Amino acid sequence: MRVGVVTFPGSNCDCDTLEAFEFLDVPTKHLWYADTDLTDVDAVVLPGGFSYGDYLRSGALAAKAPMMTAIRDAIQGRDLPVLGICNGFQILTEAGLLPGALRANRHGQFRCAWQTLRVTNESPLFLGLSEGELLRLPIAHAEGSYYAPAGTLADLFMSREVWLQYVDDRGDLNTLTNPNGSLANIAGITRGNVAALMPHPERALEKAFGSEDGRRLLMAWLRGLQERSAHAS
């Protein structure tokens, strides 16, 4: 199994993400935004950063890149698993591969802080993360306020596609622990084989970094990949 990590102009977490998977002993491949070849990767990660300097809207220009056309075709053609982290989440919504949008933080500030998250729904994309489990991960964004129309939001909860929410240290939802004004404290969603979250798991691999929960999350995603690959074969 090989994981590809895409670099867009302005990406700044691509090397961290490549190193995170290498730390987990997973073969990786660096993918360039202008390329279209995905034949030798089994999954793709869209990393954090400021693609195209967040010009127009975060992720808006990156969503039009040749690599994103190839990713869209691979999702439709072979159900390619894709994980978006922070700017990757923004790109996936701008590309229409996930519902909703990421808007400017309600308080108008760039927010960089540790955040407690709750696994809202178990997902086959993340094997081993149980509903109600708490994770401690860092966030770093200025446009992370998740928005979707009321009907879409209701459908996301009904279909159990909301999988991460911002909570307090006890796991309770409240406005005080919502760092950006996201509707329903949403921090991550899934659809099909596509998943995304605003926090940065690649920055939380070891206790020395402040938390090992990023390793738990990425390992859960890798287990999900392996399980689907085993069933496919």
The 10s digit of each residue's pLDDT in 133-174 is 999 999 999 999 999 999 999 999 999 999 999 999 999 998
- In this prediction, residue 233 carries a pLDDT of 62
CA 89 to CA 59: how far, in whole Å? Answer: 8
pLDDT in tens, 20-35: 999 999 999 999 999 9
Q: What is the pTM (predicted TM-score) of this model?
A: 0.97
CA angle at 76 for the pair 148 and 52, rounded to the nearest 5°: 60
Residues marked as catalytic: 86, 200, 202
Q: In this structure, which amino acid lies at residue 199?
A: P
CATH for 57: 3.40.50.880
Specify the DSSP element, H or E, that contains 152.
Answer: helix 150-158
CA 171 to CA 167: how far, in whole Å? Answer: 5
Could you tell me the residue range of the domain that residue 197 belongs to? 3-232
Greater confidence (209 vs 65) lies with 65
How many domains, in total, are found in the chain? 1
Closest CA to 24 of 176, 227, 204, 169: 204
Are 33 and 70 spatial neighbours (Cβ–Cβ below 8 Å)? no
CA 94 to CA 72: how far, in whole Å? Answer: 12
pLDDT in tens, 76-94: 999 999 999 999 999 999 9
CA 177 to CA 65: how far, in whole Å? Answer: 35
